[in-house]
């Protein structure tokens, strides 16, 4: 184990467990190889949700609803979450998980491609969790910025692709090369956009936290 891995294991071992129903959902998801937020990302989200106390959250990439349910657990009780998923096979599972957790009234699942759905949204959100297809983050950004309210927080997950992002371009496949180029463009934009203040963390698979500044 590398030193970094030992730190990760130690830090994760300090975490307080989630409620049993969330732990079980996480175990099921991992057993079925459904990509859900890592423990380190969970920890970060808990802190950010406690700091910002959002009333409205938007998530891009529901999968089977783990992170939406996780956020509903740690956001204020009156917070509403809107989450977008396009993969038809995962949508019924997400709906069933929301129903089983008794959170259907607090989580709205919008079915379809975020590219189509985002321009239709008219509300402003104080917390946006970007966790869809990595190569599309840069395309989603203009709509996400339109929807992110002042002092709103944007959390972008998996932005360093487990370190692949800084590998030589010859060491990665052509498809991943395109995704990495787009991700680098996205990170550059997050760091240079005048409306945002952003930190890129080597946490989990790489997580960027941005705040929309007051004008
Ligand atoms: N946030 C989830 C969690 O932690 O429980 C995991 C999301 S998973 C990493 C990414 C999900 O985004 C996949 O289920 C995928 O189908 C969905 N997705 C990818 N591109 C999308 C798009 N353009 N519109 C809507 N959903 C998308």
Distance (angstroms) between ligand 1 centre and the Cα of 4 equals 28
Distance (angstroms) between ligand 1 centre and the Cα of 114 equals 9
The tokens describing 4, both together, are 């970094």
Q: What is the pLDDT of residue 163?
A: 65
Distance (angstroms) between ligand 1 centre and the Cα of 3 equals 31
How many residues are there in the chain?
215
Q: Who lines ligand 1 at CB under 6 A?
A: 35-37, 61, 63, 66-67, 84-87, 90, 113-115, 131-133, 136
Distance CA 81, CA 79 (A): 7
* 215 residues of the chain, pLDDT tens digit each: 888 889 888 998 998 899 999 999 999 999 999 999 999 999 999 999 999 999 999 999 999 999 999 999 999 999 999 999 999 999 999 999 999 999 999 999 999 999 999 999 999 999 999 999 999 999 999 999 999 999 999 999 999 986 677 666 666 777 778 889 999 999 999 999 999 999 999 998 899 999 999 87
Q: What is the pLDDT of residue 18?
A: 95
pTM: 0.95
Q: What is the pLDDT of residue 93?
A: 97
Pick from 166, 113, 100: which is nearest to 140 by CA?
Answer: 113
């Amino acid at each position: 184990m590398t030193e970094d891995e030992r730190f990760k294991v130690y830090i994760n071992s300090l975490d307080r467990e989630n409620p049993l129903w969330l732990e079980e959902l996480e175990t099921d998801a991992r057993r079925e190889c459904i990509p859900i937020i890592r423990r380190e990302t969970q920890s970060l989200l808990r802190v950010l949700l406690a700091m910002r106390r959002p009333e409205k959250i938007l998530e891009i990439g529901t999968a089977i609803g783990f992170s939406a349910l996780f956020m509903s657990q740690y956001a204020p009780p009156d917070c509403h979450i809107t989450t977008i998923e396009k993969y038809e096979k995962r949508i019924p599972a997400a709906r069933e998980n929301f129903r089983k957790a008794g959170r259907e009234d607090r989580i709205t699942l919008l079915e379809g491609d975020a590219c189509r759905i985002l321009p239709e949204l008219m509300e402003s959100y104080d917390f946006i969790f970007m966790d869809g297809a990595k190569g599309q983050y840069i395309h989603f950004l203009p709509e996400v910025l339109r929807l992110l309210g002042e002092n709103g927080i944007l959390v972008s997950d998996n932005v360093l692709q487990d370190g692949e992002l800084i590998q030589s371009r010859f060491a990665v496949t052509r498809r991943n090369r395109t995704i990495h180029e787009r991700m680098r463009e996205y990170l550059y934009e997050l760091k240079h956009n005048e409306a945002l203040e952003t930190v890129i963390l080597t946490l989990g698979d790489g997580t960027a936290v941005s705040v929309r500044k007051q004008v």
